[in-house]
Amino acid sequence: MSTNKNKIIVIYKSKYGSTKRYAQWIAEEVGADIFPLNQIKLRDLEKYDTIVYGGAVYAVGMLGISALRNSFSKLAGKKVVVFSVGASPAYPEAMASIQANNFSDAMKENVHFFHLRGGFDYTKLNWLDRTLMMLLKLKIQRKSEDLRTGDEKGMLAACQTPADWTKKEAIKPIVECIVGDKAPQ
């Protein structure tokens, strides 16, 4: 699907590639320009009507989201769509916590927000992420099994076996939002 009705840009920040893959799928589907966050300046956004931002989630923080938060007031009148990418599935509590930790009040009201499931391969992590994961693993392992959340159990399992949850059909609601005219919910 491609739309020429308005000018769309997809911007992303990814460490290990899942967010970048989703950004590429979305840009391809809607016929958007696509850039990593570090190649974009605020003034570059003037010519776009729709701005899509994808950021990977690390310790509940979305990569690069401060750039959007800081310039959000300058984007009035544009449609802003944000998607986070994490190991967690897109259930309401996980999404609410990502929003609470990363969005300003104005963003909570005006951004169309989605969450997509990425991937996790412990063997490919850099030393810092590996150390953080080891600490997280130890913390979870100290809890008795019946007190571990679904996410915590999932994280322990993913440390044993690499997982790739990315799938192209997951972008469908985002594509519909970009080409549609629904207000943020």
Contact residues toward ligand FMN (CB under 6 A) are 14-19, 56-60, 85-88, 118-120, 125, 129, 132-133
Specify the residue, 72 or 122, whose C-beta has the smaller distance to ligand FMN.
122
What is the 3-state composition of the chain as percent helix, strand, coil, each rounded to the nearest 5? 50, 20, 30
**Residue 116: φ, ψ to 5°:** -120, 150
Specify the residue, 50 or 102, whose C-beta has the smaller distance to ligand FMN.
102
Q: Considering the complex, what minimum distance in angstroms separates the CB of residue 26 from ligand FMN? A: 13
Specify the residue, 106 or 134, whose C-beta has the smaller distance to ligand FMN.
134
Q: Considering the complex, what minimum distance in angstroms separates the CB of residue 166 from ligand FMN? A: 8
Specify the residue, 2 or 66, whose C-beta has the smaller distance to ligand FMN.
66
Tokens of 144: 């008795």
Q: Please state, in angstroms and rounded to a whole number, the distance separating the CA atoms of residues 32 and 48.
A: 10
Q: Considering the complex, what minimum distance in angstroms separates the CB of residue 179 from ligand FMN? A: 24
Tokens of 167: 């799938």
Q: Which of 96, 94, 129 is nearest to 16 (CA)?
A: 129
Q: Considering the complex, what minimum distance in angstroms separates the CB of residue 107 from ligand FMN? A: 19
Specify the residue, 34 or 87, whose C-beta has the smaller distance to ligand FMN.
87
Q: Considering the complex, what minimum distance in angstroms separates the CB of residue 25 from ligand FMN? A: 13
Q: Considering the complex, what minimum distance in angstroms separates the CB of residue 59 from ligand FMN? A: 5
> Quick one: which H or E segment has residue 9?
strand 8-13
Specify the residue, 75 or 140, whose C-beta has the smaller distance to ligand FMN.
140
The CA dihedral of 40, 116, 91, 65, to the nearest 10 degrees, is -10
| Residue that is written with structure tokens 């310039």 in the block | 71
CA distances (Å), origin 105, targets 66, 100, 111: 13, 9, 10
